[in-house]
Amino acid sequence: MNNLNNLEKKLKIIFHNQNLLKQAFIHLSYLNESDKGTCSNERLEYLGDSILSFVISHWLYKKFPDYPEGDLTNIRSFLVKTKSLALIAGKLQLGDYLFLSKGEASAGGQNNPLLLANTMEALIGAIFIDKGLEITEEFIRQHFQPLLNEPADLDMIKGYKSRLQESIQAKTKQAPVYQTLKEEGPDHSKTFTVAVLSGKKVMGIGKGKSKQIAEQKAAEAALEKLKIKD
């Protein structure tokens, strides 16, 4: 098990309360083999879950001012789902710092996606208590924003795309096709321009900071065009 001081260096967050940081990594199973008075991370997980949902909701509300509630909800659900949380926890190697029972450890608990996701939420709760909202928001933004640029799994961000596909398929029996027209800007801050086509006909064009967001914008434009025609 790694020293929690190494984790602090990795996170670039130094805790005032070291016991609070340790508590974020204490799994319930560990209590059966530890001193009395030790608390698991479940209360911190509860708090972190609420803080994460609030911060992500606020961030998406500002980032996508034209998105309806349904699309914002879908994006938030994608960002805070177990798989996304476990992915970030894996990149931070949080499993290396877990306090587990011998049985849980031998069963590979340090790599269990659900356990890692819960630990991620507990860590967010601990950061909030120890460092306040501003640092917590920055931590969440830093580690969750890259997920919006990950091509894998972003099909879960449905909304305009799914509604357009249903509309096009009902009329033509074929799914719309998305085509990237342009990529502008440096690698860390690209802007994509995407067109959505039905057959050879361009139905809509959209721009965004990722291809997936640009596709959503293109689908939105296409739906507006279809409404005008209808």
The CA distances from residue 177 to 160, 168, 213, 215, 229, in Å, are 14, 10, 15, 10, 20
Residue recorded with tokens 């926890």: 89
Q: Does domain 4-149 have CATH number 1.10.1520.10?
A: yes
Instruction: Write the single-letter amino acid at 92.
Output: L
| φ, ψ for residue 192, nearest 5 deg | -105, 140
The active-site residue, picked from 49, 71, 130, 137, is 49
Could you give the percent of the chain with pLDDT greater than 90? Answer: 54
Task: Please indicate whether residue 134 is annotated as part of the active site.
Answer: no
Query: Could you state, in order of their start, the residue ranges of all structural domains in the chain?
Result: 4-149, 159-229
Picking from 65-69, 96-100, 157-161, which range would have the lowest pLDDT averaged per residue? 157-161
Q: What pLDDT digit, counting tens, does each position of 177-196 carry?
A: 999 999 998 887 889 999 99
Q: Which CATH number fits domain 159-229: 3.30.160.20, 3.10.520.10, 3.20.20.100, 3.10.300.10?
A: 3.30.160.20
Average pLDDT over residues 87-116: 92
Which pLDDT score is estimated for 2? Answer: 61
The active-site residue, picked from 45, 71, 121, 220, is 121
Which pLDDT score is estimated for 159? Answer: 67
Judge if pTM exceeds 0.85. no
Task: Please indicate whether residue 121 is annotated as part of the active site.
Answer: yes
Signed CA dihedral, 116, 18, 144, 92: sign only: negative
Average pLDDT over residues 52-63: 93
pLDDT band (50, 70, 90) for residue 36: low
pLDDT band (50, 70, 90) for residue 149: low
Which pLDDT score is estimated for 209? Answer: 81
Which residue did the predictor score with more confidence, 85 or 161? 85
Q: Which of 15-19, 69-73, 173-177 has the highest mean pLDDT?
A: 15-19
Which pLDDT score is estimated for 182? Answer: 93
